[in-house]
Amino acid sequence: MSEIVLKNVCKQYEKGQQYAVQDVSLRIGEGEFVIFVGPSGCGKSTTLRMIAGLEEISRGELWMDGALCNYVEPKERGLAMVFQNYALYPHMNVYDNLAFSLQIRKMDKKEIDRRVHEAAGMLGIEHLLRQRPGSLSGGQKQRVAIGSALVRNVKVFLLDEPLSNLDAKLRAQMRVELAEIHRKLGATMIYVTHDQTEAMTLGTKIVVMDQGRIRQADRPAEIYNHPADRFVAGFIGSPSMNFFKGTIRVPGRAAFLELEDGTMLEVPENRAGLLEEKYAGQRVVLGIRPEDLHEAGWPGGSGKTGHADRSSWKLEGEIVAREMLGSECMLYLESDAGDFAARLPVAVRGAVGEKKQLYLDMTRAHYFDAQTEKNIFYREGRDLV
């Protein structure tokens, strides 16, 4: 069993300074693949370094395998780490860099050799084994750093942006490789990344951090479909979610969201109850992902389904930019309700400067409290729906 539990862990680098990490509580089960994401400087590396034992924990508890580990030396913790800045040994060649952790354990030379070559082969750095780190490119260094963690047979891996410097192809390849290693070893992986794809595909759990605090920790699909607050909603997903300020109006039987330009969007049945009850006449923020905007004629784009009038879900804007993504196309629009982006089929018509009417799939929209920025429908890790 190798469970890692953080209880209200805080880190303050200097007295009187702001907390780099604050009240982080997290349970990481054996074999989990936990991804830390968050804007630069939010405390991801710090959290990782506290788990590794490289930073003292200012307040709170760190439990590993049921034992309090706050003051256990890094070398006793039995984990492997890939550092954000690689931390290769400059005077050793790549082979020794990979073998170092095994050599100091006086492991059998043949076994070391086998493991080093296995790791090097997997990472495609076999031809570099005799070189010094100084003569390697950034991506090559990074692979050496990954390799020197992988040769170790440990239960917990800490990886701080391990693929950040690789080219797209290699990165995709390594992503698959890491998933495979995770499956094969059954080890716990704690992984920091800025890459949305890595976060969504690799993780069994995503931890979204901001300013030293955890905003939400859940399975990738949950985070994507049921973000806890506006920050998480905006941070996860690329391009990020569109937000519109609006007010809930209940003129008759149905509830409407009035945008700033006066557009009235009817709120679908399943959302209407709570909004009518608690937010009538109040300001909320509507969040909708670019892929949930459509052209006229999308299935169910007109007529009535349920009780809401879908034909009211339209918004007009002026196209300010158009981006080809390959299989899809991004449109960036400006309107009086706010700027927004839409991900549409490549065939979509509309040039820069033209007006374009798009339909919002309100069944997939999110509603955030304008004051607290919390997701109104988020409860205890699950949406009410």
Partner 1 sequence: MRKAARKWKGSSAYLYLLPCFCVFAVFLFYPFAKTIYLSLYKTNKLGQAKLFVGLENYKNLLTSEAFYNSMTVTLVFVAIVVLGSMLLGLIAAVLCSKAFPGIRVFSTSYALPMAIASSGAAMIFRIILNPTIGIVNKLTGLDINWISDPRYALVCVAVLTAWLNSGINFLYFSAGLGNIEESIYERASVDGANAVQQFFRLTLPGLSPILFYTLVVNIIQAFQSFGQVKILTQGGPGESTNLIVYSIYRDAFFNYRFGSAAAQSVVLFLIVMALTLVMFRIERKGVNY
Ligand X SMILES: Nc1ncnc2c1ncn2[C@@H]1O[C@H](COP(=O)(O)OP(=O)(O)OP(=O)(O)O)[C@@H](O)[C@H]1O
Interaction residues for ligand X, span 82-111 (CB under 6 A): 84
Tokens at residue 108, please? 């059998």
CA–CA distance, 373 with 385 (Å, rounded to integer): 19
Q: CA-based angle 237:240:245, to the nearest 5?
A: 130
The residue (of 10 and 181) whose beta carbon lies closer to ligand X is 10
Choose one: 36-44, 244-252, 339-347, 360-368; the region binding ligand X (CB under 6 A).
Answer: 36-44
| Site membership for partner 1, residue 80 (CB under 8 A) | yes
Smallest gap from residue 64 Cβ to partner 1 (A): 14
The residue (of 83 and 279) whose beta carbon lies closer to ligand X is 83
Q: Which does 42 bind (CB under 5 to 8 A by kind): Mg ion, ligand X, partner 1, none?
A: ligand X
| Site membership for ligand X, residue 42 (CB under 6 A) | yes
| Site membership for partner 1, residue 385 (CB under 8 A) | no
Residue from 275, 278, 253, 281 nearest 362 by CA: 275
| Site membership for partner 1, residue 73 (CB under 8 A) | yes
DSSP H/E element including 258: strand 256-259
Residue from 50, 86, 85, 34 nearest 192 by CA: 34
Tokens at residue 4, please? 């890692």
The residue (of 84 and 193) whose beta carbon lies closer to Mg ion is 84
**In contact, 382 and 374? CB cutoff 8 Å:** no
DSSP H/E element including 188: strand 188-192
Q: Which does 20 bind (CB under 5 to 8 A by kind): Mg ion, ligand X, partner 1, none?
A: ligand X
CA–CA distance, 192 with 199 (Å, rounded to integer): 9
Applying CB under 8 A, among 7, 27, 117, 132 the residue interacting with partner 1 is 132
**In contact, 288 and 313? CB cutoff 8 Å:** no
| Site membership for ligand X, residue 140 (CB under 6 A) | no
Smallest gap from residue 161 Cβ to ligand X (A): 7
| Site membership for ligand X, residue 44 (CB under 6 A) | yes
In sequence order, what are the beta bridge partners of 287?
243, 366
Choose one: 15-23, 51-59, 282-290, 300-308; the region binding partner 1 (CB under 8 A).
Answer: 51-59
Applying CB under 8 A, among 20, 81, 163, 308 the residue interacting with partner 1 is 81
| Site membership for Mg ion, residue 97 (CB under 5 A) | no
Choose one: 33-41, 101-109, 281-289, 346-354; the region binding ligand X (CB under 6 A).
Answer: 33-41
| Site membership for ligand X, residue 287 (CB under 6 A) | no
| Site membership for Mg ion, residue 45 (CB under 5 A) | yes
Could you write out the DSSP letters of every residue in 23-71?
EEEEEE-TT-EEEEE-STTSSHHHHHHHHHTSS--SEEEEEETTEE-TT
Which residue do the tokens 């205890």 mark?
380
| Site membership for ligand X, residue 22 (CB under 6 A) | no
Applying CB under 6 A, among 13, 135, 352, 355 the residue interacting with ligand X is 13
Find the distance separating the first CA and the last CA of the chain, reported in whole Å.
35
CA–CA distance, 194 with 40 (Å, rounded to integer): 9
Which residue do the tokens 């930073």 mark?
55
CA–CA distance, 360 with 264 (Å, rounded to integer): 12
Smallest gap from residue 79 Cβ to partner 1 (A): 7
Q: Which residue number has the CB closest to Mg ion?
A: 45
Smallest gap from residue 198 Cβ to partner 1 (A): 22
Provide the 3-class DSSP secondary structure of residue 250: coil
Applying CB under 8 A, among 38, 43, 53, 227 the residue interacting with partner 1 is 53
Which residue do the tokens 């059998």 mark?
108
Applying CB under 8 A, among 30, 59, 63, 89 the residue interacting with partner 1 is 89
DSSP H/E element including 171: helix 168-185
Q: Which does 91 bind (CB under 5 to 8 A by kind): partner 1, Mg ion, ligand X, none?
A: partner 1
Smallest gap from residue 333 Cβ to ligand X (A): 31
Contacts with Mg ion, residue ranges (CB under 5 A): 45, 84
Contacts with partner 1, residue ranges (CB under 8 A): 52-54, 73-75, 77, 79-81, 83, 85, 87-92, 100-101, 104-105, 132, 134, 148, 152
